[in-house]
Amino acid sequence: CAGQFETLALSGRTVFITAGPTREALDPVRYISNHSSGKMGYALAEAARDAGARVKLITGPVSIAAPERVECIRVESAQQMLDASLTGLSGCDLFIAAAAVADYRPVSIAEHKIKKGSEEIMELHLVKNPDIVATVAAAEDRPYTVGFAAETRDVVSYAQNKLARKKLDLIVANDVSAPGIGFNSDENAVTLVGPDSIETLPQTHKQQLARQLINRIARHFNEYAK
C-alpha cells in the first residue's frame, strides 16, 4: 500500500549478516567447529528483510533453509566468511556479525586423512583466525557495525570491552550459561550494549527477539546515519 515503504525502518538499506558456525578443516574428512545453529542470524536476516533492507546472509553450514528474498552466500571456514564479508562491503550500510566464528584453525590442512598412530596423546597446532567483525569495523568507509558477545559471566563488562576493542557501534550480549537460551536453542535473551547505553531484552523466541533487535538496531543506526 502507498506510503508503506517510507515507514519501514531499513528501507533502501543494504545489510550484511554473518550466521552459523565456521568449519576449520583438519584433513579431507575432519574439521573443528561448534554447536551454533544459525537460528539467531537467520531470524535477523528475515527481520531485516521485513524491515525493508536488501539482505546478504553469509552463512556457515547449518541445517535450516535459506530465507526467501535474501541473498545467501554459503561458506565453510572463517577465511571464506571474511572474504565474503569484504566482497561488496562498500555498498553495505549495516553489518551484523551473528556467526560463531572458530577462534582458531589448524595450522595446516593435511592432504590425506590423518592416520591413527601408536601414541595415546595427540597434539593439534592451531593458529588464530582473522576477526571478521573487527576487520569490517576497521575498513575505510565502514558500515554501522554490530557484533554479538557470547559470555558465561560478567556479560555486560565483557561486552563493553569487546565493543571498545573491536571498535564496534553496538554489541548484542548473550549469557550462554543460562539454561534454555542462546547457542542451540529456540529462545534467547540479550542485552544490547552501546557506547553509552545498556538495554535488556527479555527471553523470548528467536524470531520475536530478532524483530525487536532489528527495531532497536535500526533506531541506533538511523540516529548514526542522520
Using the rule CB under 6 A, which residue among 45, 58, 92, 150 binds ligand CTP?
A: 150
Do 96 and 54 meet the contact criterion of CB atoms below 8 Å apart? no
Interatomic CA distance for residues 51 and 183, integer angstroms: 25
Question: Given the rule CB under 6 A, which of 54-62, 96-104, 197-205, 216-224 is the region that contacts ligand CTP?
Answer: 96-104
Using the rule CB under 6 A, which residue among 101, 137, 155, 192 binds ligand CTP?
A: 101
The sign of the CA dihedral 132, 138, 144, 146 is positive
169 is in an annotated binding site: no
Smallest separation, CB 138 to ligand CTP (Å): 12
166 is in an annotated binding site: yes
Which are the catalytic amino acids? 34
Q: Residue 5 or 184: which CB sits closer to ligand CTP? A: 184
| Cell reading at 184 | 542451540
Smallest separation, CB 181 to ligand CTP (Å): 15
Give, as ranges, the residues between 95 and 124 that touch Ca ion (CB under 5 A): 103
Packing angle, helices 39-50 and 206-225, rounded to 10 = 60
- The one-letter amino acid code at 150 reads A
Do 19 and 99 meet the contact criterion of CB atoms below 8 Å apart? yes
Question: Out of Ca ion, ligand CTP, none, which partner does residue 182 contact, by CB within 5 to 8 A per kind?
Answer: none
Q: Interface with ligand CTP includes 97 (CB under 6 A)? A: yes
Burial class (CB in 10 A: 0-12, 13-18, 19+), 118: exposed
Smallest separation, CB 5 to ligand CTP (Å): 30
Smallest separation, CB 165 to ligand CTP (Å): 8
> What percent of the residues of the chain are helix, what percent strand, and what percent coil, each to the nearest 5?
30, 30, 40
Q: Residue 52 or 97: which CB sits closer to ligand CTP? A: 97
DSSP E strands: which ranges in the chain?
14-19, 24-27, 30-32, 54-59, 71-74, 94-97, 104-106, 126-128, 144-151, 170-175, 187-194, 197-205
Give, as ranges, the residues between 2 and 41 that touch ligand CTP (CB under 6 A): 18
Using the rule CB under 6 A, which residue among 147, 163, 211, 216 binds ligand CTP?
A: 147
Binding site for ligand CTP (CB under 6 A): 18, 78, 97, 99, 101, 103, 129, 131-133, 147-150, 162
Known binding-site residues equal 103, 113, 130-133, 148, 162, 166
